[in-house]
A and B are shown apart, each in its own frame.
Chain A
Amino acid sequence: MAMNDVISLLISGLGLAGIYFLLASGLSLIYGLMRVLNLAHGAIFAVGGFVGWAALEYLPVEPDWLRFTAALVLATLAGAMLGILIEKGLLARLYGRPYAQMLLTLGLAFAMTAFLGGWLGHDPLTLKQPAWFDEVTVIAGSRVVNSRLVIVGIALILFLATVVFLRRSKHGLIIRAGVNNRSMVMALGINVSKSFTLLFVIGSGLAGLGGVLAGVFFGSVTPELGTQQLIFAFIVIIVGGLGSLEGTALAALVVAVLQQFVNYYGPPGAGDLVTVLLLAVMLLVRPRGLLGKVAA
């Protein structure tokens, strides 16, 4: 295989990994801490994509990179606000009833997708990306589209920020300990639900932002964006190990890079098939995932 292809595929893979990470990390930590599976997380991702599209389309902000930054911020805020509404308004009323929570978030996912489709249609809406994004940078002799580099850079910064938050802040400490043993955290006199709400907001914000990056990566957004990507996010979470941020990052890399290479060199659709195979192997051989804290 040509070296040029390898590098550009690798960077595409890294970009896709970043998107998977942004979608999966919140989902994984939220489940790890409270055993809540938020099936509306993908819909938050899609809403983020649409907010990003609308901001790039209509915001009268120049230059274009500033408009893009505004789009990211708005999508993050939209995701975070949806997160608060879902957690405080719905899930908090159903603590200790995991099936009720799952059904509710599943219903919400369908409703939000249908709402987006009814309002904006199901045809892909193309994102008006900054002009520089479509240009090409030559890295080690290989031509890489700039937008890929932007995605990789943003995802990397957010990954590091999340790691620092979990390692250094009091809430991060509570979240890490709570994923390990929530009852004991409570038995130390700590109100875990405060940290959980914060985690839910951060996770939802990251998903909203991830939706914009996905729009950039695929060129457009559709209402089904969330549902499609949520499947890969689940694969990433299980391969990486529930409740482990580092595991999620590692698995996002493995799954995305593998997918990119197999899609390019293999027959159509082979990349997606391989990730499902990887999931199956993982479930059989190592069900707690690469760096998992809790059994799946």
Chain B
Amino acid sequence: MTRTQASPVRSWTASTSVLSLRNVDVHRGEAHVLRDVSFEMPPNAVTALLGRNGAGKTTTLLAVVGLLAATGRMSMAGTDLKPLKVDERVRQGIGYVPEDREVFADLTVAENLRLAMRGPESQARLQQVHKLFPILHERAQQRAGTLSGGQQQMIAIARALLNDNKILLIDEPSKGLAPAVVTEVVQAIEQVKATTTILLVEQNLAVAARLADHALVLDQGRLVYSGPMEDFARDTEATSRWLGVDIRPKAVGGRGNE
């Protein structure tokens, strides 16, 4: 079965969805990067945002956070995001894990985490984060810039877990990491996914297939697929067409092949 047309997920309406984008357009300089993008995200599920390099995945996350200007409508759990500034949007309950981790290199690990803590519940969450990533506890007083890429990725994910967020936006958590570290990061996301809504950008189709329930696929700034992750991953014609991936996804760790 091939889906070349975007088929909006109809079972979730704007009112029940955690994140809703309607007719969103984004320009970056001269480039018209997102074109009329609309989607809804159901709660307590992982939605993978897929597409080739330059398709507009990172741009979509930046527009949601407010770091890029966008036209169209955007709301989170019923709250209109458009009039809010970046910090106000985030305080509404967004945990953002940027593409290149963007930890504060000169600050210690502990300071990086402290900066992300917003409310009284953060202290308790810090304990959970330390359980999830014990290395962040061991290296608390070390400068974050001296950590490995994988450890910095753990800081980036940890920052998003320190607050009671409505949604996590995670941009390519496996980028540039060794396979063993990828497995560790994937397991961490698996642990939190039952209780959180996650929009996950992931180049590694196997990782996406393992973590995601739903898939959104972008091609040159347009949404070309919206539906179950499983269906998309199984559709070799679609994956090769939209992602340039020919091989069928292999499961990462623990789970057998599809």
Binding site for B on A (CB under 8 A): 173-174, 176-177, 180-181, 183-192, 293
C-alpha spacing A190/B90, complex, angstroms? 8
- Of the listed residues A177, A181, A184, A185, the one surrounded by the most CB atoms of chain B closer than 10 A to its CB is A184
Cβ B90 vs Cβ A176 within 8 A: no
C-alpha spacing A45/B118, complex, angstroms? 37
- Which residues of chain B in 90-111 are interfacial with respect to chain A, using CB atoms and an 8 Å cutoff? 90-91, 94, 96, 98, 102, 104-107, 111
A174, A189, A293: the one within 8 Å of B90 (CB): A189
Q: Known A173-B115, A190-B115; judge A184-B104 contact (CB<8 A).
A: yes
A293: B residues at CB distance < 8 A: 106
C-alpha spacing A218/B107, complex, angstroms? 39
Q: Known A173-B111, A173-B114, A173-B115; judge A184-B98 contact (CB<8 A).
A: yes
Q: Known A183-B67, A184-B98; judge A190-B104 contact (CB<8 A).
A: no
- Which residues of chain B in 218-257 are interfacial with respect to chain A, using CB atoms and an 8 Å cutoff? none
B57 within 8 Å of A by Cβ? Answer: no
When C-beta atoms are compared, the residue in chain A nearest to B96 turns out to be: A187
When C-beta atoms are compared, the residue in chain A nearest to B61 turns out to be: A187
B77 within 8 Å of A by Cβ? Answer: no
C-alpha spacing A176/B104, complex, angstroms? 9
B87 within 8 Å of A by Cβ? Answer: yes
When C-beta atoms are compared, the residue in chain A nearest to B101 turns out to be: A184
Q: Known A189-B91, A190-B87; judge A180-B115 contact (CB<8 A).
A: no
B37 within 8 Å of A by Cβ? Answer: no
Shortest beta-carbon distance from B133 to chain A in Å: 18
Q: Known A188-B159, A189-B91; judge A176-B106 contact (CB<8 A).
A: yes
B86 within 8 Å of A by Cβ? Answer: yes
Binding site for A on B (CB under 8 A): 65, 67, 85-87, 90-91, 94, 96, 98, 102, 104-107, 111, 114-116, 118, 159, 163
Cβ B107 vs Cβ A187 within 8 A: no
A192: B residues at CB distance < 8 A: 87
When C-beta atoms are compared, the residue in chain A nearest to B118 turns out to be: A189
Shortest beta-carbon distance from B105 to chain A in Å: 7
When C-beta atoms are compared, the residue in chain B nearest to A191 turns out to be: B87
C-alpha spacing A293/B67, complex, angstroms? 22
Cβ A177 vs Cβ B115 within 8 A: yes
Shortest beta-carbon distance from B168 to chain A in Å: 13
When C-beta atoms are compared, the residue in chain B nearest to A187 turns out to be: B96
C-alpha spacing A177/B94, complex, angstroms? 19
C-alpha spacing A180/B159, complex, angstroms? 17
Cβ B106 vs Cβ A180 within 8 A: yes
C-alpha spacing A251/B94, complex, angstroms? 41
A189: B residues at CB distance < 8 A: 87, 90-91, 94, 118, 163
C-alpha spacing A192/B106, complex, angstroms? 18
A181: B residues at CB distance < 8 A: 102, 104
Q: Known A173-B111, A174-B115, A177-B115; judge A186-B105 contact (CB<8 A).
A: no
Q: Known A187-B65, A187-B98, A189-B91; judge A177-B107 contact (CB<8 A).
A: yes
- Of the listed residues A176, A183, A188, the one surrounded by the most CB atoms of chain B closer than 10 A to its CB is A188
Cβ A180 vs Cβ B90 within 8 A: no
B111: A residues at CB distance < 8 A: 173, 177
B96: A residues at CB distance < 8 A: 187-188
Cβ B104 vs Cβ A180 within 8 A: yes
Cβ B102 vs Cβ A184 within 8 A: yes
C-alpha spacing A84/B37, complex, angstroms? 43
15 new A-B pairs (CB below 8 Å) besides A176-B104, A183-B86?
A: A173-B114, A180-B106, A184-B98, A184-B102, A186-B86, A186-B87, A186-B90, A188-B116, A188-B118, A189-B87, A189-B90, A189-B118, A190-B87, A191-B87, A192-B87
Give me 26 A-to-B residue pairs in the complex whose CB atoms sit less than 8 angstroms apart, sorted by A's number. A173-B111, A173-B114, A173-B115, A176-B104, A176-B106, A176-B107, A177-B107, A177-B111, A177-B115, A180-B104, A180-B105, A183-B67, A184-B98, A184-B104, A186-B85, A186-B86, A186-B87, A186-B90, A187-B86, A187-B96, A187-B98, A188-B116, A189-B94, A189-B163, A190-B87, A190-B115
Closest 5 CB pairs of A and B: A189-B90, A186-B86, A189-B91, A177-B104, A184-B102
B114: A residues at CB distance < 8 A: 173
When C-beta atoms are compared, the residue in chain B nearest to A192 turns out to be: B87
B85: A residues at CB distance < 8 A: 186
Q: Known A184-B98, A188-B116; judge A173-B107 contact (CB<8 A).
A: yes
A173: B residues at CB distance < 8 A: 107, 111, 114-115
C-alpha spacing A186/B111, complex, angstroms? 16
A190: B residues at CB distance < 8 A: 87, 115
B94: A residues at CB distance < 8 A: 189
C-alpha spacing A176/B91, complex, angstroms? 21
- Of the listed residues A173, A186, A189, A192, the one surrounded by the most CB atoms of chain B closer than 10 A to its CB is A189
Cβ B90 vs Cβ A188 within 8 A: yes
C-alpha spacing A174/B65, complex, angstroms? 19
Cβ B65 vs Cβ A188 within 8 A: no
C-alpha spacing A293/B105, complex, angstroms? 10
Shortest beta-carbon distance from A101 to chain B in Å: 19
